[in-house]
Amino acid sequence: MSRSRMRLAAVYLLVIGVILYGAGLGMLGLLMRSNWSALEREVETLAGTLHDSLKPLLPAEAKPSPQLAAVLPGLCLVGSPCQPAPSLIPRHAVSITDPERFYLRLLDPSGGLIAHSPGSPRAKAERPGPAWTVVAGPGGERFLQYSIHLHRSHTPADPGANALEMDWGYLQIGRSLSGLDAERQRLWWATQTIVVLALVVAGLASWWLSGLAMRPLLAAYRQQEQFTGDAAHELRAPLANLLAVVEAHRTKPPADAVARDQMLAAVQGQGQRLSRLISDLLLLARLDGPEAGAAMQSCSLTQIACDLLEETSEAASIAEVQLRLQSGDDDLNVLGVESELYRLVSNLLLNAIQYTPSGGEVLLSLRREGNLGLLQVQDSGMGITPADQQRIFDRFFRSDPGRSRRQGGTGLGLSIVAAIIRRHRGEIIVASKPGSGSVFTVKLPMATTPAPPSGSTACPH
């Protein structure tokens, strides 16, 4: 059992772990995605501002020249040694003066490098590809690079004509990703630590939860084990008696017909006990199984009670117990399976007769209470102690095993009653006082349609 608990806890932990880890990675991804978008917006805005401020200042030709150097102080022109940046930097370059984080590159229309920031990553002369690329810088540092077309505004000589926009080359802005990468690393480790700590807690919770889940299974398993043991014991007794009689017959055959008849009667009695026990066990197994059986329909509880009163009248007169029925004029129709309802009422009635001493009385009453049909079996018998009242519905429980066996009881009668009531979504209540009788009250849901007419005889009230 503890191996099963361990396996269940491991499955719980695995499921919780996968969910936690997935959620952690998802959160990390979302956070990084939003940081990345903010970075893209920042670079895009910067590129737009630079483009607009450079447009009117760019020289006519896209090649390294003193005019270009004047427009972009601080950038190194290709083919000339890099000049140190002047202390007073013109406005358009102010935004990207942080050489730690940004670099700038100017390319001619064919993709050839014209000018670049001093520390910018070296790139081969090529046509700028997609707008966004990630470029590896010196020392492995990564940069997010954005490329846009650079235009130059040209004012025609004719004063009435509109200013023209002409393709000039390309502007590339790189933004260092070192901050973002460090942040990603930090968050990654934070996620791992949190997930590992959460998994430790989840492991403890899984162990506790698996114990909780196993409890009813363990109880059901023990109950089943007890039931199998009891059933085997109950079956063994009549079988042993039967075999003993047969063995006696074989070793010392009965001398006369009377002795033979006695022997046969004993074999038959034990055989019948076995047969009763087996059919009760089979019925219980069927009642406990999935609810396939017969369909529920409207059944007349009044008719069932009348039929059973007649059937048990002989047993009652043998036991010298008076049987009475108390019911209203109307038929009490409940929703159920007729054969099972017959069995339910019969078990209660036979028990009442069996556990009532001679001269006593058994009263079967029927009435309606709201949308429930009430059937009550009241006897003036020996009663049941409060401790036993908790256990009489357990399989094979008997207050007085000897008496029950002598009278042919299997110890399964009330378990069958309880199983039938469970299937009918009803309820059974026991009220009893030792020495002054018992009352078994059964509540069953009423049917909305009348029961089909039966061929049974009218009921004597």
Task: Give me 150's structure tokens.
Answer: 């650079």
CB 368 within 8 A of CB 327: no
Within positions 154 to 213, which residues make up the interface with ligand ADP, using CB under 6 A?
A: none
Which of 301, 344, 349, 414 is in the footprint of ligand ADP by CB under 6 A? 414
Nearest to 360 by CA among 423, 435, 289: 435
If binding is defined by CB under 6 A, does position 150 make contact with ligand ADP?
A: no
Residue 349's alpha-carbon distances to 76, 253, 339, 418, 450, in angstroms, are 110, 42, 15, 15, 25
How far apart are CB 266 and ligand ADP at their closest, in Å?
21
Residue 446 carries which DSSP code? B
Which of 287, 384, 420, 444 is in the footprint of ligand ADP by CB under 6 A? 384
CB nearer ligand ADP, residue 105 or residue 343: 343
Which of 153, 241, 399, 441 is in the footprint of ligand ADP by CB under 6 A? 399
Interacting residues of 403 by C-beta distance below 8 A, sequence separation 6+: none
What kind and span of H or E run contains 44? helix 2-54
**Which of these ranges, 13-21, 87-95, 323-331, 395-403, lies near ligand ADP under the rule CB under 6 A?**
395-403
d(CA 78, CA 68): 11
CB 187 within 8 A of CB 29: no
Other Cβ atoms within 10 Å of 142 Cβ, number = 17
How far apart are CB 17 and ligand ADP at their closest, in Å?
49
How far apart are CB 361 and ligand ADP at their closest, in Å?
12
CB nearer ligand ADP, residue 77 or residue 352: 352
One symbol per residue from 417 to 446: x for binding ligand ADP (CB under 6 A), - otherwise; what is it? ---------------------x--------
If binding is defined by CB under 6 A, does position 231 make contact with ligand ADP?
A: no
Which of 146, 170, 342, 355 is in the footprint of ligand ADP by CB under 6 A? 355
CB nearer ligand ADP, residue 96 or residue 384: 384
How far apart are CB 439 and ligand ADP at their closest, in Å?
9
d(CA 377, CA 365): 7
Nearest to 323 by CA among 123, 461, 168, 154: 461
How far apart are CB 299 and ligand ADP at their closest, in Å?
22
Which of 381, 419, 444, 451 is in the footprint of ligand ADP by CB under 6 A? 381
Residue 127 carries which DSSP code? -
Left if phi > 0, otherwise alpha if psi is -120 to 50, otherwise beta: which for 140?
left
Dihedral Cα 440, 441, 446, 447, nearest 10 deg = 10
d(CA 232, CA 161): 112
CB nearer ligand ADP, residue 102 or residue 440: 440
Which of 319, 352, 374, 420 is in the footprint of ligand ADP by CB under 6 A? 352
How far apart are CB 287 and ligand ADP at their closest, in Å?
14
Which of 64, 146, 404, 428 is in the footprint of ligand ADP by CB under 6 A? 404
d(CA 85, CA 70): 11
Alpha helices in 55-107 (DSSP H): 66-71, 91-94
Task: Give me 277's structure tokens.
Answer: 């026990």
If binding is defined by CB under 6 A, does position 74 make contact with ligand ADP?
A: no
If binding is defined by CB under 6 A, does position 413 make contact with ligand ADP?
A: yes
How far apart are CB 326 and ligand ADP at their closest, in Å?
17
If binding is defined by CB under 6 A, does position 379 make contact with ligand ADP?
A: yes
Give the footprint of ligand ADP on this chain (CB under 6 A).
Answer: 351-352, 355, 379, 381-382, 384, 392, 397-400, 404, 409-415, 438
